[in-house]
Structure 1
Amino acid sequence: MAGATQQPRYHALYRACIKDAALAGGELMRAALARALQELPDRAAAMPDVVDRNLLLEAVNVLREQQAALGAGFPQALLTEFAQAIAGDRVASLSFDTLPLLGDEQVQENADLVHAGQELEQAVRPQLAELERVLLAAQLTPEGGQQRHPLRPEVYARAMHRLARVSPVSPAVRRRWLRYLPPLMAPELAQALHGTAQRLQAELADHIELPAVHPQDEMDEATQLTIRALRKLLSGAPGDAADEGVIVFSDTGDSDFSHTVPAALEMVQDMRKVDQLLLQLRQRQAAMPGRERDSLAAFRRALRHEARRPAQALGLEVVHLMIDNLAEEPRLLPAVRNVVRDLEPPLLRLALVDPRFFSDRSHPARRLLEQITQRSLAWSSPQEPGFSTFMDGLQQATEALLDAGGTGPETFEIALSALQEAWDEAQPRGRRNRERAVRALMRAEQRNLLAGRIAQQILERPDAAQAPREALAFLTGPWTQVMAQARLADMAGEEDPGGGWWVVQSVLWSVQPALAARVAGQHRTLVARIDAGLQSIDHLPADTDRWQNLLSALRDLALASGAGTPARSREAETAPETTNTWLAPLEMHESGFIPDSAMTPETSAPEADALGSQELEVGAFVDLMADGWERWQLTWASPHGLLFMFTHASGAARSMTRRKLNSMLAQGTLRLVSAHPVVDGALDAVARAAWRNTA
């Protein structure tokens, strides 16, 4: 199988396939629409319910009117969904945390969307499996499994949803489009997936080995959760608990948490039974090494007997599924997955008495689980420095949590505080490095923003209209940094601190034949001013010399040329390139800056398309390609989005411009590991299972 270091060389081909799939979306949609206009009237005629029949016929008539617009708009909708899938964006309407916010119409619309996506996936399953085998072999799929890639049928269904939302149609028409159109894409999508798989396999045949075919994991089908039940669990709405599995909150009781503890707590006669079950579980694990799963299953069964209401059983099921998802999460190292599995008993116990864990992101148990899983993503291998220290603190806190006898959130709060204190003490150097790097980058961004405004003022000057572009490159590049630095350092409020505008005028006049004679006697003063200015921003001496030589040649040429003749110089071919964002050497050192000029011709190509413009959020983990893949976390983004800083578990920092970041994303030398908390993903998987059951 291809090694991880080979992945970037395949990435350009993969991106080309994705772009081609988006471009082909127009033909795919037009074929699906033609099929819909032919088949749906007959399907409507067979409906016994006259209301449903008329609504579907109305949807067909509107579809006929909007046929051209849908065919033209689908490629862009598809490209947008591809980009979001690559970036790891959560589908907000289907996520666990947003379920209580959905109205009945949204629930039905999303259920239709999920059902249509399921039908489409079922129809193209062989071709999808073929493509996913190739993607897995070439390591082209996002971290976390081969089912998380942009070409999956679910993304095509979401693109249809996106397009329908912006179409001038009624909700009833939109719902029927979502219900019937995605499955009708199946013939063309199957052909497209097969073609993409064959294209990739042909190009990479000498470098990859296809994995064996395994049955698809159908774990989601094991649960009978529904969206209705989950929404009630998250909202705590009162209702018929016996029928709906609703948790009823009580304002009375002996607990310190009486304002949030469910009435079901009253039915648990003696919570010490639960503590005894947990003690028996640990004793059984100690007596039977290697039998943890068996004893844990026995503990879950025993806890279910303690659940006196359907709502409690539902809470236990959600915790169990969430932990199962986390314990199978490939982004978590095995040792961390084991710790997560160890946390299932206390979380199950908590679910019986305090269901806020599901709806309150600030709940200590939720925060503890998020801290454990998110911080662990800083390491991609247990052999990396710092991981053993991380695990020592984690295991100690877990042991203390398991030994505690409380059933409320207090024990999780204590464990969380102990973990954060241990982790903070383990990385004092890293914290200081980050603070120093952020200060350097903040200075750089402030100066660059001011330099950009000054550059615009220079270009708007009348005497700049005929100036050689090489001279303008100097003035709007390094010299604007000098002027911005002088202005930021000026405490007296001078009109032209440092005399920067005098240099601007002198350079512009000295390089134009019609004006050069006016400043012919100021050559030495100009050279000295430029030297002093560039030195004030720690400009590299070698670059300073090249600029001075270039400007001197332009001045000589202007004096030798006739009036009105534009000055041009051979030295212009070797003029140092300027970038929009510049950092001084000390700022580069303190922040680990990767300059844009370090990009190779292949990686510096502009990537302005939607796939190359992913918005990473602070906290996201990425792998960066250096000598090999290294795990970094985006810990800071500048207020104006010019600069981004990543930190390593060792405390080292790296920073780059937005242009560099997008280029590395596009070329595959920077790949997203996790854009959102892993716990959110595990709970979203529970919600997806419920959506499937509801659909």
Structure 2
Amino acid sequence: MSGSPQPHYQTLYRACIKDTASQGAELMRSTLARALHALPQAAAGLEDVVERGLLQDAVEVLRERQQTLIDAFPQALLTEFAHAIAGDRGSWLSFESLALLGDEQMQDNADLVRACGALEEAVRPELLELENTLVSAQLTPEGAAQRHPLRPEVYVRSVHRLARHSPVSPAVRRRWVRHLPLLMAPELARTYAAMAQRLRPQDAASTPQPPARQEDVDRATQLTIRELRKLMEGDPADGAARARRAGAVFAETEFSQTVPAALQMVQDMRKVDQLVLQLRQRQAAMPGTERDSLEAFREALRREAKQPAQALGLEVVHLMIANLAADPRLLPPVRALVREIEPPLLRLALADPRFFSDRSHPARRLLQEITQHSLAWSSPQEPGFPAFMDSLQQATDALLDARANGPEAFEIALLALQDAWDEAQPRGRRNRERAVRALIRAEQRNLLAERVGRELLKRREALGAPAEALAFLTGPWAHVLAQARLTDLAAQEDPGGYGWVATTVLWSVQASLAGHVANQQVQMVQRIRQGLASIDYLPADTQRWLHLLAALRDLALSATPASAERIARERGPERVSTWLAPLEMHESGYVPDTPMPLAAGNTPEPDTLPVQDLAVGSYVDLLAGGWERWQLTWASPHGLLFMFTNAAGATRSMTRRKLDQMLSQGAVRLVSAHPVVDGALDAVARAAWRNSL
């Protein structure tokens, strides 16, 4: 995507999502009113007596629970919006879940797919207008206008969530999911139209057209869920062993042909190697005709397939590669290279048709490493990307030159690729390891400091102490005590004597106790300097705290009213929930918890991407002057600290509070929360579901 969305449109977009969720009650109220009027008539017109009775029962339960559904729908919407923003693949229409689905789950998924298609068709004009507007305002990635969280599928999932959490029978739930989504089409269409009007750029002379919808791409195959499940069932290892013993990958099974070419039995599998060589020679001899050559290669392999499952494997590989090659998150050179890998993957599909369903298979891992690693760059012009592409091209050339039809060539290419990346970034790896060590150390100290601070507040002498003194003791001094305990190897009762300082401070700032420690001030000041130095506390901040404690001590000794204004001026640094020493900040690229500037007139919106949905491994764009690509590579065990790494190996860390703040201000833009290959296979499953209906 060229350029970045203006903050004005980012704020409007977040406001639209928030407002849409809050309006969910009215949307559900109108939907239920329409359902209670239309569904009894629909039931009366059914010839199937059983289905007529079931639909009538569903309507009666709907009538009884309508207010509960109205009240609960906004939260269901908000939850699904959050999952959609976070890139959640969901628990349905997933490639890997196919083999685990029971009959009832299969029926539920079929209902969901059917409802999604019906609702999208009913609101298509308004939806297209909204998606065009999102592209014009640069609010969705280029080529991915249909990935926004307000798409019809998310509304259907919200209805499904509402039904699933309602105490009703499966039969009632299923009929709600079948009928309610389409009945909300009029309100959803008006919502889309109003949102498009609200988001439309004022200076937009023309509206770009989004690319072809996924359903249009899916129509290129006739793959069905029944056939895809056959491929997913069984133990791949046992299947491979049987194939080696019997000379075939799968036994004959009931199978409907899904590829255009007829399946032909051949005796000599070595012809496949000849086909690969012919393909390479043809590509070299006829520049510009690679697409035609590749299609001829696919057709030749289809004729080489011995078993129907082999042909199905070829079909799934082709669809998977087509989805990856169309993924806008991958840069054009990477998409072109993925297309080059299709021939050896197709070849592998003849020997091992289920390699794509085994996450540990070398071919699956190689494809995943290539696509995921490439997300570290947002532009081909960024430093490091040309070297990255060189390593990919070498691995690809090795695959294309190899004549083996098993996983060995992919394993070799994967190891070579990983070695090249490790060799190219040894400093980056060391930086990450050092940063993680610093952050783990900081989190351990912070957690212990929190506990120490609570213990100090429970002490009897703390009850009458000034708030400023308690802020010092539960803030920086609690970290001193925690650091002393963590580094104490001798199991001392008071490591460093820093516990004595806490008691002395509490006594020195209270008029009734200050006289008892008046002669210990010099020793206390020396010990405070020593303790704060042990956690690399800044000398200037140390001096401010000492000035404040001295003022409180003088106040206690004089027993005269103090000026609140003077105490406010001398007050030490504010305590923060998480604190890092300067060296830890440097080693981890720490971003301090300071307020971020907002555009004039803008106020923070509620989080649109909760931290708990930002998983380790996710790629994001962070706003820091301009958009920069980073990967979340580490989160502390207790979720207090997060570390991001960029393609050059640099690190940036921040607290949960800072990350929440950036999320709420639109300064974090999700690129990918899940492996790209998984998404491509899920798209194959969606195509099979649609064809099955």
- Which category of TM-score, normalised to the shorter sequence, fits these structures? over 0.9
Instruction: Give 1:614 shift.
Output: 4.4
Aligned position for 1:643: 641
Superposition map of 1:380-459 within 5 A = 380-459=378-457
Aligned position for 1:13: 12
Aligned position for 2:625: 627
Instruction: Give 1:481 shift.
Output: 0.8
Instruction: Choose which of 173, 195, 211 in structure 1 pairs with 2:207.
Output: 211
Counterpart-to-counterpart distance in 2, 1:501 and 1:599: 37
Aligned position for 1:57: 56
Counterpart-to-counterpart distance in 2, 1:394 and 1:122: 41
Superposition map of 1:54-453 within 5 A = 54-141=53-140, 145-201=144-200, 204-206=201-203, 211-214=207-210, 216-217=212-213, 218-236=216-234, 249=239, 251-252=241-242, 254=244, 261-263=249-251, 267-453=265-451
Contact 1:503–1:530 (CA under 8 A) maintained in structure 2: yes
Instruction: Give 1:566 shift.
Output: 9.6
Counterpart-to-counterpart distance in 2, 1:606 and 1:572: 29
Q: 1:274 to 1:120 in 2, by over 3 A?
A: same
Counterpart-to-counterpart distance in 1, 2:10 and 2:211: 27
Instruction: Give 1:686 shift.
Output: 0.9
Aligned length: 679
Instruction: Give 1:184 shift.
Output: 0.8
- Unaligned stretches of 5+ in structure 1? 239-246
Contact 2:136–2:208 (CA under 8 A) maintained in structure 1: no
Aligned position for 1:570: 566
Aligned position for 1:495: 493
Q: 1:266 to 1:429 in 2, by over 3 A?
A: farther
Instruction: Choose which of 661, 667, 688 in structure 2 pairs with 1:663.
Output: 661
Q: 1:413 to 1:479 in 2, by over 3 A?
A: same
SS in structure 1 of the partner of residue 167 of structure 2:
coil
Contact 1:433–1:651 (CA under 8 A) maintained in structure 2: yes
Aligned position for 1:3: 3
Percent identical pairs in the alignment equals: 68
Question: What amino acid does structure 1 have at the position aligned with 2:514?
Answer: A
Deviations 1:98-143 (A, max 9, x none): 1111111001101101111111111111111122122222222257
SS in structure 2 of the partner of residue 147 of structure 1:
helix
Instruction: Give 1:249 shift.
Output: 4.0
Q: 1:409 to 1:624 in 2, by over 3 A?
A: same
Instruction: Give 1:281 shift.
Output: 1.6
Deviations 1:545-587 (A, max 9, x none): 222222222223333345xx89955343554222111110011
Instruction: Give 1:662 shift.
Output: 2.0
Question: What amino acid does structure 1 have at the position aligned with 2:444?
Answer: Q
Instruction: Give 1:75 shift.
Output: 0.5
- Aligned residues: CA RMSD: 2.6
Deviations 1:646-683 (A, max 9, x none): 11111111111111112212222121111111101111
Deviations 1:311-348 (A, max 9, x none): 22221111111111111111111111111000111111
Q: 1:467 to 1:136 in 2, by over 3 A?
A: farther
SS in structure 1 of the partner of residue 219 of structure 2:
helix
Question: What amino acid does structure 2 have at the position aligned with 1:451?
Answer: A
Counterpart-to-counterpart distance in 2, 1:605 and 1:516: 47
Question: What amino acid does structure 2 have at the position aligned with 1:301?
Answer: E
Contact 1:249–1:260 (CA under 8 A) maintained in structure 2: no
Q: 1:437 to 1:143 in 2, by over 3 A?
A: farther
Deviations 1:358-380 (A, max 9, x none): 22110111011001111111111
Counterpart-to-counterpart distance in 2, 1:610 and 1:138: 18
Counterpart-to-counterpart distance in 2, 1:143 and 1:513: 68
Counterpart-to-counterpart distance in 1, 2:653 and 2:206: 37
Compute the TM-score of the two structures, normalised by the length of structure 1.
0.92
Contact 1:664–1:670 (CA under 8 A) maintained in structure 2: yes
Counterpart-to-counterpart distance in 2, 1:156 and 1:368: 36
Compute the TM-score of the two structures, normalised by the length of structure 2.
0.93
SS in structure 2 of the partner of residue 93 of structure 1:
coil
Question: What amino acid does structure 2 have at the position aligned with 1:585?
Answer: P
Aligned position for 2:583: 586
SS in structure 1 of the partner of residue 632 of structure 2:
strand
Counterpart-to-counterpart distance in 2, 1:670 and 1:605: 16
Instruction: Give 1:525 shift.
Output: 2.5
Question: What amino acid does structure 1 have at the position aligned with 2:381?
Answer: Q
Counterpart-to-counterpart distance in 2, 1:305 and 1:347: 16
Contact 2:83–2:613 (CA under 8 A) maintained in structure 1: no
Contact 1:96–1:684 (CA under 8 A) maintained in structure 2: yes
Contact 2:264–2:303 (CA under 8 A) maintained in structure 1: no
Question: What amino acid does structure 1 have at the position aligned with 2:130?
Answer: L
